[in-house]
């Protein structure tokens, strides 16, 4: 049961004034009567759209029936919208919406007859003229009779021997309710101003008590604000709070709010907190939210709130939650600690108000109100919210088809993808994962099978093309919507199922060249795009035409003054959806064009590369070769040799095994190195090769003086250093190191695994002899990597097919170019897709990516450094670091911190030693660190969320 004072289960009515009362007394001092309400005992005024709907339904059945100014609606349980309509203090009927037929109905009560009969011109069934009734002996009420006269299905008035009642006609039969004598009745018709006047005393008491509650607690925390949703309850609370002296208020824009709400919020001088995530990207991965699975609230509301409160600090937040809104709020106390955020103490000053009190108060105060209420919405919120009734959503289709069409299209597509029956989207069954009892009954009555856990059972026949499924337009009746012909058809919309088949699709190589690419500024905005599958991606506009072998350098994607924003590309990464991914130093995600390139290889031209002559091998060979050229161009390495490897580790090992070593040779590396650039050189000790490790300064900069001294000692065959640390994010001065290597005759290898994804890299500027990097860290597939060499400096460590030009009984002649280092069948699809990945990055512009990540890195370092108990390990100089930041929290193990970030904030980071244990020992970090690493798709909001979440962990340690 809802916890509430017993009085709240009743509505009071003054028959003399003919007005509803929120207290036991009327201003006229006349005795009042009680009207027992139905659970959940919430009652509200019928507003403009409600009144129009009731008038229409009455007119359809009975003719032009006048309604008084004051009509109330008592929400009650049902399959969808079900309201008890109260007129003149009497039960007038039940207004309901059937989500299956998509129609409203009004089942009138016997108490309505005195008000309807004097005006009714149709819808009256005279039972005395019906043979079945005339032949019946005994009681009429409660019985069912066949009708000789055709009567449309629905509620009717029945008359029999000067007595009247109501009945329901179904399939040519009428079920008669109780028959009673009816006396026409006339009542005063006051308007809502009169109702307010008669309730003024009670409204003053409500206001006084609410303001007293606010003042009692507004100083419980250092600051105070109002949580504003744009609905009536938060509007009342905002008005009350401002009377109490509270001015600050905030609104969290989820990105799927109705435009009227956002406009109304702005008009109230409320701070708008930006949206926390892209709902339509997340829903492609997570599926529709449900009343029993509201994942969207965490993404779109709790995460932005976490960031907002982190900047604000501990606060009292006044909110408009009421007991009558939901069972979850039925035991709401005056104050409550926000369970999702310890910084927020919530105050609920109108928790015992019903909707009627809220409306009367706002009208009394002449406070502005969201216009959506007058348009027929009872609940104001996100238009995709599962808590929206199907009846309300039907109205939204009329108001905002540009919004609802997109959601309808998704639901239809998701139903087809998951094998759900048409009822899933047609009847609104998507609103639950496990259906509640009332919806189980609906499904049982209509033959919709359920699983044992009350989820919908998959229907294999439902996995059909969109053309054979129900369209958004067919979900509603012709009377309630524009005709299908006036709207876009499903066939004209792009869905995964309706795309061209692989055989008919263009490959990445056959799309527009970089030279013909439009700039990001000329693309459609995220709001104007359709589903992620139908969006044009940067690479779909930029990848070269392979068959033309065009190798010209792409023109700059965008002038330098036009900064990059992640919104340009996030739609290409559907996996991001409902997570914050900050583990890119381990592996990044692949955008859709890269994934499509892999699929196209497998579906269209999977064949081995080499000297074959059939069409598939020629296509594969040409595109695999072309991918090498793309990668070479990306690093400015056209003059050298670009070899595809499994990863950066493989590439480094190829150098370690491919150089000829002799005892006494020395290799020089640094304390910053990943194990992959340390262990292969240690292994050379068996060949008599010594290893020197150069240290770092207090600011994590490489000790160049120590390096120069080591080189001066002679016998250094190779210097191998990371371009950017995967722990500290610092970059090494590779150009200066290259100069020192040339002066002392040493070869120079650069591990670019961490630098290639984050900054422009040109081997001609670096001055290195070898550059190694991994594809999976730069939007490419896993199992791909690159070894670039200034010349053919290595012996191939692996021999076999594909790496030779000819083989004789005495020996072999190695192939020219990269082929001599790629023995056996390579990762052909991965290599081709890696070429697409570098084109994707080129289309964005690596300088733009670098500037973007530089800003994010500075923001993250500054934010983390300001948190008590957090120690940041990152490069000090903005111009000499990438988007990798390590940190520790006092008293919290790095692994525990990473797990808390995942579970509490959906933030994915790395924890531990990061394959750099010698560096961790040097830094005295035996447990390692927490590491956040960025990519081009990382947003400021995600960085702010990480800072807020770390602050929360730190405060709770």
Among positive and negative, which fits the CA dihedral 210, 214, 217, 221?
A: positive
Among residues 370, 266, 271, which one has the least CA distance to residue 312?
A: 271
CB 723 within 8 A of CB 749: no
Rounded Cα distance between 386 and 673, Å, is 51
Rounded Cα distance between 27 and 844, Å, is 71
Q: What is the 3-state secondary structure (H, E, C) of 884-896?
A: EEEEEECCECHHH
Structure tokens at 254: 């989820």
DSSP state string for 109-137: -GGGHHHHTTT--S-EEEGGG-HHHHT--
Among residues 926, 932, 956, 919, which one has the least CA distance to residue 864?
A: 932
CA angle, corner 546, sides to 540 and 548, nearest 5?
120
CB 53 within 8 A of CB 109: no
Residues 6+ apart with CB under 8 A from 319: 226, 227, 234, 237, 346, 347, 348
Q: How many helices (H) and strands (E) does the chain have?
A: 28, 34
CA distances from 196 to 19, 26, 75, 168, 364 (A): 9, 11, 22, 37, 6
The reply to whether omega before 40 is within 30° of 0 (cis) is yes
Residues 6+ apart with CB under 8 A from 505: 499, 600
Structure tokens at 870: 């957090």
Name the percent of the chain in helix, strand, coil, to the closest 5: 40, 20, 45
Pairing mode, strands 33-36 and 716-722:
unpaired
Alpha carbon dihedral 531, 535, 538, 541, in 10-degree steps, equals 170
Among residues 574, 578, 589, which one has the least CA distance to residue 533?
A: 574
Residue 583 pairs in a beta bridge with 933
* Burial label, 919 (beta-carbon count in 10 A; 0-12, 13-18, 19+): buried
The active-site residue out of 315, 443, 772, 915 is: 915
Rounded Cα distance between 43 and 378, Å, is 11
Residue 594 CB coordination number (10 Å): 28
Tell me which H or E stretch contains 766: helix 763-766
Among residues 246, 228, 178, 190, which one has the least CA distance to residue 368?
A: 228
**C-alpha neighbours within 13 Å on the C-beta side of residue 181:** 1
Q: Is 915 a catalytic residue?
A: yes
Active site residues: 915
């Amino acid at each position: 049961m809802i916890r509430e004072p017993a009085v709240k289960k009743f509505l009071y009515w003054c028959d003399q004034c003919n007005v509803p009362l929120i207290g036991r007394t009327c201003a006229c001092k006349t005795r009042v009567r009680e009207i027992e309400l139905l659970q959940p005992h919430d009652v509200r005024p019928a507003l403009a759209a409600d009144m129009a709907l009731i008038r229409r339904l009455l007119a359809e059945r009975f003719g032009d029936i006048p309604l008084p100014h004051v009509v109330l609606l008592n929400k009650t349980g049902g399959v969808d919208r079900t309201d008890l309509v109260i007129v003149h203090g009497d039960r007038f009927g039940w207004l309901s919406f059937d989500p299956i037929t998509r129609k409203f109905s009004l089942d009138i009560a016997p108490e309505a007859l005195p008000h309807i009969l004097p005006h009714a011109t149709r819808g009256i069934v005279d039972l005395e003229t019906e043979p079945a009734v005339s032949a019946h002996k005994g009681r009429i009420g409660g019985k069912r009779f066949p009708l000789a006269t055709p009567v449309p299905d629905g509620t009717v008035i029945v008359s029999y021997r000067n007595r009247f009642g109501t009945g329901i006609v179904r399939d040519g039969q009428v079920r008669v309710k109780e028959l009673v004598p009816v006396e026409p009745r006339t009542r005063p018709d006051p308007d809502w101003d009169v109702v307010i006047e008669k309730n003024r005393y009670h409204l003053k008491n409500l206001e006084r008590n609410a303001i007293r509650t606010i003042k009692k607690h507004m100083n419980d925390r250092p600051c105070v604000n109002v949580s504003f949703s744009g609905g009536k309850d938060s509007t009342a609370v905002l008005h009350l709070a401002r009377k109490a002296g509270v001015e600050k208020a905030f609104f969290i824009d989820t990105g799927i709010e109705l435009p009227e709400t956002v406009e109304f919020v702005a008009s109230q001088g409320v701070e708008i907190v930006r949206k926390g995530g892209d709902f339509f990207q997340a829903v492609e991965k997570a599926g529709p939210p449900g009343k029993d699975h509201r994942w969207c609230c965490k993404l779109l509301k709790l995460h932005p709130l976490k960031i907002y409160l982190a900047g604000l600090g501990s606060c009292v937040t006044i909110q408009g939650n009421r007991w009558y809104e939901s069972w979850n709020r039925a035991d709401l106390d005056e104050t409550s600690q926000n369970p999702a955020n310890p910084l927020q103490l919530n105050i609920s000053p109108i928790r015992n108000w019903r909707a009627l009190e809220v409306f009367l108060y706002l009208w009394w105060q002449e406070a502005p109100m969201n216009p959506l209420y007058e348009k027929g919405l009872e609940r104001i919120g996100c238009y995709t919210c599962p808590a929206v009734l199907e009846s309300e959503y039907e109205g939204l289709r009329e108001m905002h088809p540009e919004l609802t069409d997109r959601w309808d299209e998704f639901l239809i597509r998701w139903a087809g993808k998951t094998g759900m029956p048409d009822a899933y989207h047609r009847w609104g069954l998507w609103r639950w994962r496990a259906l509640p009892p009332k919806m189980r009954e609906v499904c049982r009555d209509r033959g919709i099978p359920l699983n044992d856990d009350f989820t919908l059972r998959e229907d294999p026949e439902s996995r059909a093309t969109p053309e054979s499924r129900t369209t958004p337009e067919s979900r509603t009746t012709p009377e309630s919507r524009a005709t299908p012909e006036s709207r876009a058809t499903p066939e004209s919309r792009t869905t995964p199922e309706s795309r061209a088949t692989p055989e008919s699709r263009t490959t990445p190589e056959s799309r527009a060249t970089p030279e013909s690419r439009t700039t990001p500024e000329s693309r459609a905005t995220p709001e104007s795009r359709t589903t992620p599958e139908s969006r044009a991606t940067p690479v779909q506009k930029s990848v070269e035409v392979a068959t033309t072998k065009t190798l010209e350098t792409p023109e700059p994607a965008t002038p330098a003054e036009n900064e990059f924003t992640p919104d340009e590309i996030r739609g290409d990464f559907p996996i991001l959806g409902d997570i914050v991914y900050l583990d890119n130093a381990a592996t990044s995600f692949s955008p859709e064009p890269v994934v499509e390139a892999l699929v196209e290889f497998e579906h269209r031209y999977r064949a081995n590369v080499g000297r074959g002559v059939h069409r598939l091998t020629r296509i594969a060979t040409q595109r695999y070769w072309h991918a090498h050229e793309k990668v070479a161009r990306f690093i400015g390495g056209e003059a050298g040799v670009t070899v595809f490897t499994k990863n950066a580790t493989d590439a480094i090992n190829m150098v370690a095994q491919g150089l000829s070593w002799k005892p006494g040779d020395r290799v020089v590396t640094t304390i910053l190195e990943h194990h992959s650039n340390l262990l292969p050189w240690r292994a050379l000790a068996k060949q008599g090769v010594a290893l020197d490790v150069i240290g770092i300064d207090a600011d994590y900069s490489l000790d160049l003086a120590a390096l120069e001294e080591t080189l001066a000692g002679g016998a250094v065959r190779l210097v191998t250093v990371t371009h950017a640390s995967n722990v500290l994010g610092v970059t090494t001065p590779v150009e200066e190191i290259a100069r020192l290597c040339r002066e002392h005759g040493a070869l120079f290898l650069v591990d670019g695994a961490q630098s290639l994804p984050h900054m422009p890299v040109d081997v001609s500027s670096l001055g290195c002899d070898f550059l190694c990097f991994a594809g999976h860290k730069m939007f490419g597939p896993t199992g791909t990597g690159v070894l670039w060499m200034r010349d053919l400096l290595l012996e191939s460590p692996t021999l076999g097919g594909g790496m030779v030009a000819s083989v004789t009984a005495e020996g072999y002649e190695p192939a020219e170019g990269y082929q001599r280092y790629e023995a056996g069948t390579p990762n052909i699809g991965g290599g081709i897709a890696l070429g697409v990945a570098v084109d994707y990055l080129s289309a964005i512009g690596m300088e733009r990516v670098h500037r973007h990540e530089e800003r994010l890195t500075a923001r993250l370092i500054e934010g983390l450094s300001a948190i008590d108990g957090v120690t940041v390990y990152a490069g000090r100089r903005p111009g000499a670091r990438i988007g990798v930041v390590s940190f520790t929290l006092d008293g919290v193990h790095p692994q525990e911190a990473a797990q808390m970030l995942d579970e509490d904030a959906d933030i994915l980071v790395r924890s531990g030693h990061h394959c750099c244990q010698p560096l961790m020992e040097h830094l005295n970090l035996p447990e390692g660190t927490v590491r956040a690493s960025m990519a081009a798709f990382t947003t400021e909001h995600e960085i702010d969320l990480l800072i807020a979440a770390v602050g929360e962990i730190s405060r709770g340690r």
